[in-house]
Structure 1
Amino acid sequence: MSTCNSSHFLPSTFALVGIPGLEELHCWIAIPFCSVYVIALVGNCTILVVVKVEQSLHFPMYYFLCILSLVDLVLSSSTLPKMLSIFWLNIHEIDFSACLLQMYIIHSFTGMESGVLLVMSFDRYVAICNPLRYESILTPPLIAKVVAFVIVIRPLCFVTPFVFLIRRLNFGVSNIISHTYCEHMGIVKLACVDIGVNVAYGLFVASFMVWDLILISVSYSKILKAVLRLPKEARWKAFSTCSSHLCVILIFVTPAFFSFLTHRFGHGIAPHVHIFLANLYILLPPMLNPIIYGVRTKQIRERVLKTYHCM
């Protein structure tokens, strides 16, 4: 814990280390990171364009997929450019307000991604368990309310207090964050006062991702029950429509929870291992989500192949 100043003190800047212990390899690590970012940009923009152009994809499932792509674009763009400036240009400093903004975007859009995956699981539940009522249930007004409250407003409401909880802290001499980006616990650990409230609230917010997972599990348990009653041929088709979504959930949840657990309980784990895990849940979903849906969804795949063939 840093030595405290007598008065309330907030640093003007923070310094992001990057990946501790691997500073000499930063310029090489940046190459796959940059590649991931380019793939994420191209993939998610392709999904947005294809869904907009292809009239057969104007259904709720693909609207939610577009929202997922927008979330992934913001999430990757809020972190990758600064990471690359650290790795290639050796620019470690970040303004205090910019650091808080980056933290706010990362945590709120991570919450939005969790919300999108929850809503998409409900969409699959309605499509498989109540196919004849699909359009009457998922009406435009209901979709608008779900997007507004579950995907957007909910995470923003939960993440906004982070900013005020950090600004009330008194920081010491050190302003060095041993990370590639600004996140809540990385910032509050530099405080020289009790951070119990911040830690408790952080756990409270993280618990909502657990509730999202529980609700997703409930949806898929009902889907599985309904699918097993279908004929064999229809059963395979139903499973294939859910496989993309399940893959996306695993890609998002697995590194996120590994990062969360190592951050709080893995004190014996090397710092560079933890930072890599923390980067995975920011980098992998934006890159892999459009690839998974592009490969697994016939309409998207055919439209992309047709476009490239015309070029």
Structure 2
Amino acid sequence: MVRSGHKASGPLLDVLHPHGQQIGNAISKQRMTHWIVNVITLAYQAQGVPCPLSLGEWRPFLFLPFFLMFLLAITANSILLYLIKSQKSLHSPMYVLIGVMAVLDLIMPMFFVPNMLLSLLFSLSEISLTGCLIQMFGLHFIGTFQSTLLFWMALDRYFAICRPLHYHKCMEIPNFLKFFVFAPAIRNGLLMVTMVSLAGRLSFCLTNVIDHCFCEHMALVQLACGDISINNIVGLLQL
């Protein structure tokens, strides 16, 4: 936070320069902008109610339930992947898609849950802007595959019910890799790089508090004090 001592130069500047007050305000604003750009505070909130920041000494007690849920999710998805891989009867397109969903559910929490658990345990709520952008890229890059996955699951059921004679030809592994893995990866990668680059070029001068436990695109963009219309459009395209 900007210390009160930074504002002491205002009266002195008033004496030395006719526009000293304006210069002093500009200096204070520049210092505050530098602080906001380099440090982002994650204010953990649920349904608009501040959670860990207002709980004080109770924050470490939230570590255990969230950690157990994290372990449960990791264990359940790992068992599911093992069963699909080990059972040859499950090597069909639909079960492969379910396995891909388990992989996405394994990877996505890795980007923010460890940081959230450390924050609860040691009362840490700050993240650098660079770390915030990296976290945002990972979350949105993995998240965009979920909509693609749902599309492929619907397409799988369509061919199985309406085109059963062409099912195996249309849903074979080479086609799956070509249209589900490579094409969406290129598309999502380009969109995410564009989105993160635009967010990183914004000027932040209002506040540095994000009301989430992770760096989400729109939450970060809302902290900017300039025009964010392009960021909003790119954010909608990644859906």
Using structure 2 for the length normalisation, give the TM-score. 0.76
Partner of residue 196 from structure 2, selected from 154, 158, 163: 163
Q: Structure 1 residues 173, 190: CA separation in 2 closer, same or farther (over 3 Å shift)? A: same
CA contact (8 A) 2:144 2:188 kept: yes
Q: Which residue of 2 aligns with 1:14?
A: 40
| Structure 1 gaps, min length 5 | 207-311
- Following superposition, the deviation at residue 29 of structure 1 comes to 4.0
Alignment of 1:112-191 (within 5 A): 112-149=145-182, 151-172=184-205, 174-191=207-224
2:30 maps to 1:5: yes
Higher relative contact order (CA 8 A, sep 6+): 1
Write the distance in 1 (CA, Å) between the matches of 2:154 and 2:63: 35
| Structure 2 gaps, min length 5 | 1-27
Partner of residue 35 from structure 1, selected from 59, 68, 74: 68
What is the identity, as a one-letter code, of the residue corresponding to 1:188? V
Aligned residue for 1:15, secondary structure, equals strand
Write the distance in 1 (CA, Å) between the matches of 2:173 and 2:233: 38
What is the identity, as a one-letter code, of the residue corresponding to 1:21? P
Residues 163-214 of structure 1 show CA distances to partners (whole Å, capped at 9, x for unaligned) of: 11112211226322222100111212222222222123223333xxxxxxxx
Judge which range, 194-203 or 109-118, deviates more. 194-203
What is the identity, as a one-letter code, of the residue corresponding to 2:30? N
CA contact (8 A) 2:60 2:123 kept: no
Judge which range, 117-126 or 185-194, deviates more. 185-194
CA contact (8 A) 2:44 2:50 kept: no
Residues 234-291 of structure 1 show CA distances to partners (whole Å, capped at 9, x for unaligned) of: xxxxxxxxxxxxxxxxxxxxxxxxxxxxxxxxxxxxxxxxxxxxxxxxxxxxxxxxxx
Alignment of 1:1-311 (within 5 A): 5=30, 11-19=37-45, 21-23=50-52, 24=55, 26-149=59-182, 151-172=184-205, 174-206=207-239
Write the distance in 2 (CA, Å) between the matches of 1:205 and 1:53: 35
Q: Structure 1 residues 123, 204: CA separation in 2 closer, same or farther (over 3 Å shift)? A: same
Aligned residue for 1:34, secondary structure, equals helix
Work out the percentage of aligned pairs sharing the same amino acid.
31
What is the identity, as a one-letter code, of the residue corresponding to 1:12? N
Aligned residue for 1:94, secondary structure, equals strand
Larger radius of gyration: 2
Using structure 1 for the length normalisation, give the TM-score. 0.59
Q: Which residue of 2 aligns with 1:223?
A: none
Residues 106-157 of structure 1 show CA distances to partners (whole Å, capped at 9, x for unaligned) of: 1111111111111111111112222232212222221111222454233222
CA contact (8 A) 2:43 2:50 kept: no
Aligned residue for 1:5, secondary structure, equals helix
What is the identity, as a one-letter code, of the residue corresponding to 2:51? L
What is the identity, as a one-letter code, of the residue corresponding to 2:155? F
Q: Structure 1 residues 4, 166: CA separation in 2 closer, same or farther (over 3 Å shift)? A: farther
Residues 35-90 of structure 1 show CA distances to partners (whole Å, capped at 9, x for unaligned) of: 32112101111111111111111122122222111111111111211111122221
Write the distance in 1 (CA, Å) between the matches of 2:179 and 2:73: 26
Aligned residue for 2:121, secondary structure, equals helix
CA contact (8 A) 1:18 1:87 kept: no
What is the identity, as a one-letter code, of the residue corresponding to 2:81? L
